[in-house]
Amino acid sequence: MKVTIEYNSRKIEVDISNPIDISIPIDTSKENVNAWYIDDPKISAETQDGYEISVANGAVVNFNNISFNPHSHITHTECVGHITKEVHSVNQNLKYFIFLAEVVTIAPLFHNGDFLIGVKQLRTALRNKKRDAIVIRTLPNLEDKKSMRYSNTNPTYLSEKAAIYLREKGIKHLLIDLPSVDKEKDDGKLLSHNAFWNTAGEIRMDATITEFIYVPNDIEDGEYLLNLMIAPFENDATPSKPVLYKIIKD
């Protein structure tokens, strides 16, 4: 099914019959993606008076509790409240959910013992394009990203200069297939988080970072319509389900 929408004075035709889900779910039936040194998520039936509430156990409904951390176990979207003393909720600050996004594939650079995404790579990928969001797919792009155990692996991260470039280019929503835009152990500096949200100046309250995405290899780089769906948690971060739609023409 194709629909035409008007976006920033552009008429864009998109194919809504083929959504491209780039989220990683919590799945306790197999090894789950995990980061930041904590246990795996848990989904289990509520127990009352020693009785497990599940249909398999004779109850009329399944009634599960879920224990997880959005930063560690699932695709999540976060706002500046992730790094500020003052409490800020992503549910309150993300007011719009449809954006023009550019999908880019980046081969990380090796620098001083780390793999990172640099400013020159992003400049080459974006050039003079004007987008609200960027979706970064890093290489190698293996299925293992859906179940990777990231703790103590020093994953690829975004350089501070790259984060500044995205901010100055007007990118409001940064989506990446890594556990963080910052180095795993950086003495608490969080350089890229701070640079992207501009915490040293006028804070970008409506800007978000989404981590732990997975963009399949058969999805081409280019412009897409992004639906950034989030769960309504009043928290600095919440599970999210970003979905891309291919643009047919405009």
CA Rg value for the chain: 19
Q: How confident is the model at residue 250 (pLDDT cuts 50, 70, 90)?
A: low
Q: What's the CATH fold of domain 2-32+70-249?
A: Glucose Oxidase; domain 1 (3.50.30)
Could you report the per-residue pLDDT of 84-115, keeping only the tens digit for each? 999 999 999 999 999 999 999 999 999 999 99
CA pair distance 111, 227, nearest whole angstrom? 34
Q: Please state, for a pLDDT cut of 70, what percent of the chain lies above it.
A: 99
Could you report the per-residue pLDDT of 177-232, keeping only the tens digit for each? 999 999 999 999 999 999 999 999 999 999 999 999 999 999 999 999 999 999 99
- Look at residue 20 in the predicted model and tell me its pLDDT: 98
Closest to 210 measured CA to CA, from 183, 179, 233: 179
- Look at residue 56 in the predicted model and tell me its pLDDT: 96
Tokens representing 159 are 């350089």
Q: How confident is the model at residue 7 (pLDDT cuts 50, 70, 90)?
A: confident
Mean pLDDT calculated for residue range 131-145: 97
CA pair distance 24, 244, nearest whole angstrom? 14
Could you report the per-residue pLDDT of 30-58, keeping only the tens digit for each? 999 999 999 999 999 999 999 999 999 99
Going from N- to C-terminal start, the domains of the chain cover 2-32+70-249
Query: Above 70 in pLDDT, residue 13?
Result: yes
